[in-house]
Every structure is written in structure tokens, then in C-alpha cells.
Amino acid sequence: MDHSKTFETLIGKIGEIEAIDAHTHINSSHMAARGLHDIMLYHMVVSDLYAAGCPSGNRLSDDPNEDEATTRIEGAIPLLQHIQNTSCFWLMRTILSDLYDWNELITLRNWRELDTRVRDRNADPDWPREILRRAHVERLCTELPLRGDGSNDDILFYSLEWAFFTRNQWGVFDAPLYELEHAWQFDKPVRPLPVTISQRESAKRQIATVSDVKEAIAHYCRAIPYDQIVSTAHHVSTDMDYSLASDGQMQKALDNRKNAGPTERNIYASYLFESLLSELEREHSDIVFQFSLGAEPLPFETASRLSQVTIKQLAEIISRHPRIEFHCYLASRQANQSLCTLCRELPNLCLSGYWWHNFFPNSIAQIIEERLDMLPTNRQIGFFSDAYCVEWLYAKSKLVRMELAKVLTNRVERGQYAPDGAVEIAKRLVQETPRHLLRLNC
């Protein structure tokens, strides 16, 4: 069969599979872009722009006012010429062309016309679902605090992102404790703290003793609305050295909090991590434990780093809690093979999608190749977008299907898969496995 014909056949069939998006940050109250800023200043594009010389590397505010949106857009437009080579720019161009019929360069003179076009479409309440229809995504997961009034529960399901006990912060050594203290102030889950904290408020309830830690963890676990979520999402930092910390070690580290360094930070993270996992395994093992791995903080965003020591320690942690289903979102391309070997021997570990620093065409293709060779299809989830609006979900879904079709085309042509079998594999990765592992009834 002709290579191009094989690819066209596969991409056509794979493009029509109704996929599950296993992880997003889409707000139910405004699922589609509210203006050009939500498309052009997606945080992955901001990183491109910052590298090109844009004055700000900060993420856009969740609810930017007109002044912020205008200033950031007009500051970014002169740098667009320097990022036209990147895949993020390509995805942005795909969004504007496919969904907004815009095929011009964005300039300081015309951007308001495009912005108006996006805002006008956003005024149509059916527009977000139309984008999902075009993307062939039937359901998507988002953060529970973004649920809104529940009117989109037929297409949304929910994960809890609240406190990140094992996420390092740039230059902050008591970050695990502060995450727990912050959660301790609330009787129900709220949005998590940002990736990097420039300033932090003093918590009303502070942790000074192991008894405080146990009370705060118990409060956190009681406050989780288990009946409303399929998973809880965390980040596992490679900068932590994970161990089984005792009460005595924890108290000693707490006593030295004002002068905390890496040693104390490692004890805080290890103690809280084990406490949380033990509680979940004992009382709520039906909740999937999702965790991101391989992205470590810089002043604005993160870089891809992952130690082999962390992979070893993760294996110990996951094997210690066999009743918990662990799903890993990996941002380290070179670590994919190592994580695949873990999955082969730890049946409660699944690899999910291509996260952050892996969401580039060449990385996606390599990861698909390795996972298809090494893992059964029911231990890998083939797609999540990490999108903040459905436009970016659309573009990322299109990219993943394209790379999946390319990989499967090569395997069909060398006789490894039959064409129908290749389509069936794709369906398992992007639809059937996430349905099963996330326990969805759809």
C-alpha cells in the first residue's frame, strides 16, 4: 500500500474516534476563549515569546482585565516573527485558521479585529460544544473548583488539584508545609497555589508539631469530596529525596523550619506524601492518584529535569501502595523508557499522555513508539491536552492524532499491524483505556 494512502486512511479513521481528554484546566463557566489573549498567551506560547525577548515571562492572570490583556498582547506581537518556527505557534495558527477563519499575520494594526472575532464567537453559548464536536472529544477532565454550576457535567468530569505536598518551589524549603497549611484554612477544596509563589500570605493555622501535621492531613482528607471526583492530581518533584520519615525526624525538621534547607524539605515532603497515600489506600483506593513528573521550577515556569534516583524511589513508593492506581504525566522525554520498565513490573502504574515539555511533535512520536513496543494498551492513556480553553484542546488533539497516525502507518507498512488493528489500537489509547482506568460511565 502507498505510504501516503496508508496515512490518509489511518488519519481519517483516527480523527473520528471520540476521545477522552484525561486532564485539562478548562473552566466550565467559560470553556472557550474569551478573547485573543486566551489563545495567543497560553502559557506554552508565553514561554516561546519570553525566550524570544518578550519583556514578561509571567502567566496571564486567570481573569485579566482589559489593560492587562491589551498590554500583554501588544508586547508580544512584535516577537511573533521569531517564534513562527515553533510547534506552539503552529498550533496557535491551526486554532485561528480552523476555528476563526483567520489566516493573516497578527499585527498591531489588525489584532483587535481578530480579538473581536474571538469574543463574538464566545458570546454563542453553543460554541464550546461545537469546538469539542469538531475535535471529536466526548468528555474531558478538569479541576473540581472549575465545575461552576454543574451545567456541563455531561461532558466534564473532575479531578482534585488542591495541595501539592511534593512540589518544590524556587528557593523555598518549607513549601510542602505551606501547601498543607494553606489547605488547612479551608473546609472545601480551592484552586491550588501557583507553580511559583512570588509572595505568600501568613497562614492563620500554622504547623509546628507532628500532631498539627496529623490534624491538618486528616482535615485535608476529610474535606475531599470523593463522590465528585475520579482522581486527585499532584506533582512529584525530582528535587526531593523520598524516604520513610519517622515522627521523630519530622518533629526535628519542624523545629528547624525557620532555617530549613534541603534536608528538612525532603523530610516534610516524604512524611506528607506517605501520610496521604496511606490514608487514600486505607479509605479511598478507588480514587486514581495522578502525578506529574519531570518539570522543575524556574523563576517563571519550569525546565525538564528528572533524576534516576527519583525513578527508583517512585518504584518503591508505588510498590508499597498496591491498591492505589497511579497515573504518571511525564515531562522528561529521556525518562520515558525507564518509566515504561516500571509499568511492566508495577501493574498499578499507568503512563498518561505527553506532558508540558514533551508536548512537541517529535517527542510525542518517540514516546508513542516506545510505549507501543513496551506496554499493553490498557496501561497507557494516549491523550490529554492540559488545555485552559477548548481551542487549545482542539489543536492538541489534532496534533496527537497526526503523530499517532504517522507511527501506526510505519507499523502497518512493515507488517507489524493490520490497518484495522492499528485503528483499534488508537481507539484503545484515546478512548477505551481512559474510560476504563478513570472509571467513566459514558
Phi/psi at 300 (5° precision): -110, -55
Provide the mean pLDDT of the chain: 95
Residue 433's Cα: distance from chain center in Å? 18
**pLDDT tens across 365-376, in order?**
999 999 999 999
Instruction: Identify the pLDDT of residue 211.
Output: 98
Label residue 269 by pLDDT band (50, 70, 90).
Answer: very high
Angle at 405 between CA 5 and CA 388, to 5 degrees: 135
**pLDDT tens across 416-430, in order?**
999 999 999 999 999
Instruction: Look at residue 442 and tell me whether its pLDDT is greater than 60.
Output: no
Burial class (CB in 10 A: 0-12, 13-18, 19+), 198: exposed
Domains recognised in the chain with CATH numbers:
32-124 (1.10.2020), 132-437 (3.20.20.140)
Label residue 299 by pLDDT band (50, 70, 90).
Answer: confident
Angle at 304 between CA 189 and CA 81, to 5 degrees: 100
